[in-house]
């Protein structure tokens, strides 16, 4: 069955969701989030669009947009292509960053608009990243609390629609729509970027990443303790880089979680990925080994 056609006229209000290719992370550090938001603001101004809310999660984004002079497709094409070029250049990767085409739903009901803004801002709470939405650095919740427009978001455009609603408690189940309860809007100092990014690496995630790392090591016929060790010999370093690449780029684990199970600094893991990426492009046997490893883990 073919895809349903989209309604892409100017001046419509959309909830847009875009996910990383193969559900992999599209933001690896604070610089990536900042680069996306910079481009988001640029295309908002260029196309005279209104951004009512946004939330950037490690492997997907939620955007709440009213289009201006041009349809949504032009806006999103420019934004995603620009960020993909940035990401591939910075992290020495190639290919798609986003998975397929983005999802876009037209919104028309005012009551639903208010619910949707709260729903988008509550994403980091549901994921267990922060206790309250305003503590998350990469959403527009703090802009709403301050009540002042920025280059990206003008909270006054939808502020009158918002009813007091409480952020949901973190759960392991699928996301649900927020319920109507009083919202505690006591602003607290934002956490540091590394705290927000690191909070994803909770115990269940670390346990899964550790098991995946051990299975990768077995597939490569290397003792997992050697992969974690300080051994920097060529063979061990090559195996460690391939394991890190498989866990982050193919299986979608966050860099910080992989760094923890490899007993390395996150920066060191990022360097491993950066150095390995060009070789995967030029060496077919190495790329095949990475594909085989991801399939068998």
Average model confidence (pLDDT) across the chain: 78
pLDDT band at 246 (very low <50, low <70, confident <90, very high): confident
What digits encode the pLDDT tens for the residues 27-47? 988 889 999 999 999 999 998
Angle between helices 72-91 and 266-282 (to 10 degrees): 100
280 pLDDT more than 60: yes
Contacts for 65 with CB less than 8 Å, ≥ 6 apart: 13, 14, 16, 44, 49, 50, 51, 52, 72, 75
Identify which has the larger pLDDT, 218 or 269. Answer: 218
- Which class for 11: exposed (0-12), middle (13-18), buried (19 or more C-beta within 10 A)? exposed
What digits encode the pLDDT tens for the residues 89-143? 998 888 899 988 899 988 866 667 778 888 899 998 888 888 888 888 899 998 8
What digits encode the pLDDT tens for the residues 156-200? 766 555 544 444 444 444 444 433 322 223 223 333 333 333 333
Q: What phi and psi values does residue 99 have, to the nearest 5 degrees? A: -90, 110
Strands across the sheet with 60-66, in order?
50-57, 60-66, 13-19, 103-106
254 pLDDT more than 90: no
78 pLDDT more than 80: yes
Domains of the chain, CATH where assigned: 13-191 (3.30.70.1290), 203-296 (1.10.1750.10)
Q: In this predicted structure, what is the pLDDT of residue 191? A: 33
Please state, in angstroms and rounded to a whole number, the distance separating the CA atoms of residues 114 and 251. Answer: 35
Q: What is the DSSP string of 75-109?
A: HHHHHHHHHHHHHHHHHT--S-SB-SSPEEEE---
């Amino acid at each position: 069955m073919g895809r349903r056609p989209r309604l892409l006229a100017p001046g419509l209000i959309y909830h847009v969701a875009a996910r990383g290719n193969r559900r992999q992370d599209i933001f690896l550090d604070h610089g990536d989030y900042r680069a996306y938001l910079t481009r988001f603001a640029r295309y908002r101004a260029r196309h005279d669009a209104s951004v009512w809310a946004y939330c950037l999660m490690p492997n997907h984004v939620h955007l709440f947009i009213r289009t201006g002079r041009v349809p949504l497709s032009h806006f999103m094409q420019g934004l995603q292509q620009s960020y993909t070029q940035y990401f591939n250049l910075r992290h020495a990767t190639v290919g798609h960053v986003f998975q397929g085409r983005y999802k876009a739903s037209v919104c028309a009901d005012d009551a639903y608009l208010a619910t949707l803004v709260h729903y988008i801002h509550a994403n980091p709470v549901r994921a267990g990243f922060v206790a309250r939405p305003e503590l998350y650095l990469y959403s527009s919740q703090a802009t709403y609390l301050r009540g002042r427009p920025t280059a990206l978001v003008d909270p006054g455009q939808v502020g009158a629609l918002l009813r007091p609603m409480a952020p949901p408690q973190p759960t392991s189940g699928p996301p649900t729509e927020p319920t109507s309860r009083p919202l505690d809007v006591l602003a607290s100092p934002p956490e540091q970027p590394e705290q927000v990014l690191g909070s994803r690496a909770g115990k269940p995630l670390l346990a899964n990443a550790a098991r995946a790392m051990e299975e990768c090591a077995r597939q490569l016929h290397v003792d997992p303790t050697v992969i974690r060790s300080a051994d920097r010999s060529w063979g061990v370093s090559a195996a460690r880089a391939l394991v890190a690449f498989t866990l982050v780029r193919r299986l979608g684990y966050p860099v910080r979680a992989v760094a923890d199970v490899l007993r390395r600094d996150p920066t060191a893991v990022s360097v491993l990925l950066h150095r390995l990426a060009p070789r995967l492009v030029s060496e077919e046997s190495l790329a095949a080994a990475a594909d085989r490893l991801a399939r068998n883990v």
